[in-house]
A = this chain, B = another copy of it.
Amino acid sequence: MLHTTDHVVENVLRASSDAPSHAGAIEQIAAVGRARLLTAGTTVHRAGELFRSVFLLRSGATKRLLIQEDGREQILGFQMPGDLIGLESIHARTHSTTVVAMDLCSVIEIPYDALEALALENAEVRKLLFQRLGMALREEYGWMAALGQMNAEERVAAFLLDLSRRFAARGFSPRRFMLRMTRAEIGCFLGLTLETVSRVFSRFQRSGLIRSDRREIELLDLNALARLALATSAAPLN
């Protein structure tokens, strides 16, 4: 009941992603791949590994991270069903980031050769690949602005609204959802500590902006949150 994963599996086919593209192309891509099941904690791909495949996330949730030599790590984003994983390494030799399954994930591995062959004959697929790459870059720009300019409350608001928007794009409620990640992971993504994230959640709850009970979140005042997170990341320009 509380798990959204199963629903996602059913919904991903019609609301494959927030990409402004036809579902057709993504299904054609999926058709040339092979399904894999990943348990929580296993990697989709790892930094330094040779690039061989792109992955389509069908169900579950993953996080992308960059691990520094000194051990510090930065979470670069969270992926949802319908997202393509590893696209940024196309025509590079190796992966530069690591993507880890946060729970049981169903992915479709699309070997690079098959993807290129498909892209060669299919204009829709070519278009989708560029769209997704460009979209990822534009989203990253938004988060860079968030980390560069916003204070803790604004970052958390932008984060919640981003999740809301992405859930909505997949046919789920934009007001009520389950967080798949810990406070520490949210902090690691937003450049904050887990304590600060927790404090902001509490503050938001006291001011009536959200209702938060551990991983369960309800956004009570989307407008107020949006006012806090004026940043572009929450409301993409394109």
Whether the pair B93, A149 counts as a contact (CB closer than 8 A) is: no
Tell me the complex Cα distance, A136–B66, Å: 15
Interface check A39, CB cutoff 8 A: no
| A137 and B136 in contact, given A47-B237, A148-B147, A231-B68 (Cβ under 8 angstroms) | yes
- The quantity of this chain's copies bound in the complex is 2
Determine the residue in chain B with the shortest Cβ distance to A123: B120
- If A148-B147, A238-B92 touch, does A66 touch B141 (CB 8 Å cutoff)? yes
A148 is contacted by which of B69, B74, B138 (Cβ under 8 Å)? B74
- Please, which residue of chain B has its CB at the minimum distance from the CB of A235? B69
Convert A163-192 into 0s and 1s, putting 1 for each residue whose CB lies closer than 8 angstroms to a CB of B.
Answer: 000000000000000000000000011110
A91 near B237 (CB under 8 angstroms)? Answer: no
A134-B69 CB under 8 A given contacts A74-B148, A148-B74: no
Give the CA-CA distance A91 to B127 in the complex, in Å: 7
Measured CB to CB, the residues of A under 8 A from B are 20, 47-48, 66, 68-70, 72, 74, 76, 87-94, 96-97, 127, 129-131, 133-138, 140-145, 147-149, 188-191, 230-232, 236-238
